[in-house]
Amino acid sequence: MVVQARRRPEGHPATGTRVGFTCSKKVGNAVARNRARRRLRAVARAVLPDLGHDGWDYVLIGRHGTTVAAPYETLLGDLRYALSKLHADRKKPRP
Give the domains, in start order, of the chain with CATH numbers: 2-84 (3.30.230.10)
**Taking 70 as the threshold, does the pLDDT of residue 95 lie above it?**
no
pLDDT given for residue 65 in this prediction: 87
pLDDT given for residue 91 in this prediction: 53
Question: Which of residues 1 and 70 earns the better pLDDT score?
Answer: 70
Q: What is the pLDDT of residues 75-89, one digit of tens each?
A: 999 999 999 999 887
The residue type of 92 is: K
- The structure's pTM equals 0.86
Please state, in angstroms and rounded to a whole number, the distance separating the CA atoms of residues 51 and 71.
20
Q: How far is CA 43 from CA 18, 61, 84, in A?
A: 14, 12, 15
Q: What is the pLDDT of residues 8-45, one digit of tens each?
A: 888 887 788 999 999 999 999 999 999 999 999 999 99
